[in-house]
Amino acid sequence: MTHLMNTYARLPVAFAHGEGVWLTDEAGNRYLDALAGIAVSTLGHAHPRLAEAICAQAKKVLHTSNLYRIPAQEALAERLCALSAMEEVFFANSGAEANEGAIKLARLYGHRRGIARPKIVVMEQAFHGRTLAALSATGNVKAQQGFEPLVEGFVRVPFGDLTALTAALADSDVVAVLFEVIQGEGGIRLAAPEVVRAIREITAARGVLMMCDEVQCGVGRTGHWFGWQWAAAALGVAPEALAPDVMTLAKGLGSGVPLGALLARGPAAGVFGPGNHGSTFGGNPLACVAGLTTLAVIEEEGLLANAAARGAQLKNALQQAFADLPAVQEVRGEGLMIGVVLDRPCGALVRTALEEARLLINVTAERVIRLLPPLVISEAETEEIAARLVPLVRRFVRGGE
């Protein structure tokens, strides 16, 4: 019996400790983590440098409130802006909270331009969080059901449909376009780099904010610091050419310590002033030390390059292994953000992988196996993910699950 509210369909396992990409349950069984807490555990489990930094900070001060200066917060903001060409940062606790802040910022931006009822263009199959405004922006009707009335002011268009986007932007009340360069919950769906460039050009020309939700695809997961930088690299243009006006981060930023961020530049910078937004816990000393350490380790251990190399290795291995299996329609993704698309719902595979292969995976969009291993994964461990997953999928599609 549990007194926990019944909001999760939990799997019957509890982990006692971890190391790198491995987790050990209470009975001593060892699991290969190909999910990283849904893209959170960037540095894997119990990374010694992160553990040391967190412990050292805990012995000094955990929380002081944003009523006062927080040096670690200032340092993290400076580092994030240096990596992204953004200008200012607001720290929150989660991705939903960061996106909530982005929505508020866009509305205030619109009001200051005399728009009484500002609108934000969002994409089908997007996922921006479960707070009420973030849920309203989300393109998942199933997640929204039962929570109506939703927050108004969102105009939804098909993901990657520039014709529909252009038509939506004809509405003079539109103040921003919010989208994920790579949709995570939507099934590891990549926006074509040309689409990202077009959105940048259209929004700039019309004085509309381009807002990138990098909650899942940011912080190195694509092999670049941020998803829009991946798109710029794919186009062979300078990253600044695609820099958004607003960017949100969370998940991997604290490598397990709750930390979200809302970044702004250009026309979006300076929109918020004292009293416009706030967070009790957001950006406290402990969380910001975790963020600083995460970014430092990614850089010093070459984890961007590792994410690109290991992601290519895993994608290639799975593409080859499933080449003769029509039920596997596609293996897609970038860096260590990979989706295996089946022709049928495959949620049952999550428990099978857990119990039979000691492999942690996830299924999203009903029929996409989602793989998001920690960025510290080795070549041998990447090979092991494929070795454990491939026979499970083969048996599943042949009806033996």
Positions marked catalytic: 127, 213, 251
Burial (CB count within 10 angstroms: exposed 0-12, middle 13-18, buried 19+), residue 275: exposed
Nearest to 178 by CA among 95, 256, 112: 95
Asked whether residue 283 is marked as a ligand-binding residue, the answer is: no
Phi, psi torsion values for 28, nearest 5 degrees: 95, 5
The letter for the amino acid at 39 is A
Asked whether residue 214 is marked as a ligand-binding residue, the answer is: yes
Name, in order, each residue with C-beta under 8 angstroms of 376's C-beta and a sequence gap of 6 or more.
Answer: 20, 21, 43, 44, 47, 301, 303, 306
C-alpha 231/C-alpha 218 separation (Å) is: 12
Asked whether residue 30 is marked as a ligand-binding residue, the answer is: no
The alpha carbon torsion through 69, 70, 76, 77 (nearest 10 deg) reads: -20
C-alpha 86/C-alpha 92 separation (Å) is: 17
Q: Quick check: bond before 373 cis, omega within 30?
A: no
95 token code pair: 């991705």
246-249 vs 260-264, strand pairing mode: antiparallel
Asked whether residue 216 is marked as a ligand-binding residue, the answer is: yes
Asked whether residue 237 is marked as a ligand-binding residue, the answer is: no
Asked whether residue 213 is marked as a ligand-binding residue, the answer is: yes
Residues annotated in the binding site for pyridoxal 5'-phosphate, as ranges?
95-96, 127, 213-216, 280
Residues annotated in the binding site, as ranges?
95-96, 127, 130, 213-216, 279-280
